[in-house]
């Protein structure tokens, strides 16, 4: 069984015990409804550190009022079982009052990296993410923390905030875990109907086509236009973006750009899917 920690005091006791044994700690923050992507982060943490804590907290601050906070899947018992099978040492599952005490007043926000892409379409999202991740990183005090490339822009901003705020936890990115079809695993895939599944699978196929067109030298605007048309044709309802960007700044590539990333966010029915791949 994994130990369930609920409070900062529980966390302190847990890490004091680890430090006494000279063990390193890895940390994986999640919102639960765990799948193989999360478990891969946990396994990577255990390969890199002596012990691993995973947090499960559905963070209200990163959902806009019209988003899916209320219907976001919650399954702590099943998650704890899955984590025990991977060998995770403890789960930090705080109540809302522990994360945001009544007099909580601080917001952590970043400038440049949060402006494009997700920042344009979910303008309050990243302040919620950076605030909760900062608090979690400081509460847990891990040596290393592991984040998925699935949320590519989020990974970039967390690396930036850890550097800017001198948070002494190394931030490590982990490649996306996918279904055989190429569909990126996501807790939100549970919302997809049987009819929507094969359409969702095409998102990654389209990104791969964009990568090969980019490598053959096609113009970026043409590649993006064709990809957007294709998504709409096969049944995506609304596209937030499908675009080739500078992998560091997430802005349109310039002559200074060293590596390129293709990123997309689009709605299939009510479900918002995101994915990204390297273009180089």
CA distance 115 to 1: 42
Q: Which residue has the tokens 């605007």?
A: 221
Stretch that binds ligand AMP, among 5-13, 115-123, 142-150, 242-250 (CB under 6 A): 142-150
- List the one residue from 177, 192, 206, 263 that touches ligand AMP (CB under 6 A): 177
- List the one residue from 119, 148, 182, 253 that touches ligand AMP (CB under 6 A): 148
Q: Would residue 35 show up in a list of annotated catalytic residues for this protein?
A: no
The distance of closest approach from Cβ of residue 126 to ligand AMP in the complex, given in angstroms and rounded to an integer, is 13
Q: Is 147 in the site for ligand AMP (CB under 6 A)?
A: yes
Q: Is 82 in the site for ligand AMP (CB under 6 A)?
A: no
CB nearer ligand AMP, residue 154 or residue 243: 154
The residues, ordered by sequence, that sit 6+ positions from 111 with a Cβ below 8 Å of its Cβ are none
CA distance 224 to 242: 6
Torsion-angle region of 35 (φ positive above 0: left; ψ -120 to 50: alpha; else: beta): beta
The residues, ordered by sequence, that sit 6+ positions from 176 with a Cβ below 8 Å of its Cβ are 37, 148, 149, 150, 184, 185, 275, 276
Q: What is the 3-state secondary structure (H, E, C) of 156-204?
A: HHHHHHHHHCCCCCEEEEECCCECCCCCECCHHHHHCCCCHHHHHHHHH
Pick the catalytic residue from 35, 38, 125, 225: 38
Q: Is 150 in the site for ligand AMP (CB under 6 A)?
A: yes
Using CB under 6 A as the binding criterion, the count of chain residues that bind ligand AMP stands at 16
CB nearer ligand AMP, residue 2 or residue 174: 174
Which residues in this chain contact ligand AMP in the complex, by CB under 6 A? Answer: 30-31, 37-38, 41, 147-148, 150-151, 174, 176-177, 184-187
Mind telling me the catalytic residues? 38
């Amino acid at each position: 069984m994994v130990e369930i920690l609920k409070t900062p005091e529980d966390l302190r006791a847990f890490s004091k015990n680890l430090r006494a044994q000279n063990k390193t700690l890895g940390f994986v923050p999640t919102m639960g409804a765990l799948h193989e992507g999360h478990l891969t982060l946990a396994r990577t943490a255990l390969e890199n550190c002596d012990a691993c804590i995973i947090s499960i907290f559905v963070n209200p601050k990163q959902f806009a009022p019209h988003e899916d906070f209320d219907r976001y899947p919650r399954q702590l018992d099943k998650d704890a079982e899955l984590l025990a099978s991977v060998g995770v040492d403890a789960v930090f599952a705080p109540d809302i009052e522990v994360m945001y005490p009544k007099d909580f007043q601080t917001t952590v926000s970043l400038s440049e990296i949060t402006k494009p892409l997700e920042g344009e379409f979910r303008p309050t999202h990243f302040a919620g993410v950076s605030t909760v991740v900062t608090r979690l990183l400081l509460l847990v005090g891990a040596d290393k923390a592991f984040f998925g490339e699935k949320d590519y822009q989020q990974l970039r901003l967390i690396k930036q905030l850890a550097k800017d705020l001198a948070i002494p936890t190394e931030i490590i990115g982990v490649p996306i875990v996918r279904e055989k079809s190429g569909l990126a695993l996501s807790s939100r895939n549970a919302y997809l109907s049987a009819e929507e599944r094969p359409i969702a699978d095409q998102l990654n196929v389209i990104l791969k086509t964009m990568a090969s067109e980019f490598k053959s030298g096609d113009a970026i605007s043409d590649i993006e236009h064709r990809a957007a048309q294709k998504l709409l044709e096969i049944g995506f309802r609304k596209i937030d973006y499908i675009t080739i960007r500078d992998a560091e700044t997430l802005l349109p590539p310039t002559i200074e750009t060293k590596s390129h990333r293709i990123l997309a966010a689009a709605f299939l029915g009510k479900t918002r899917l995101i994915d990204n791949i390297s273009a180089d």
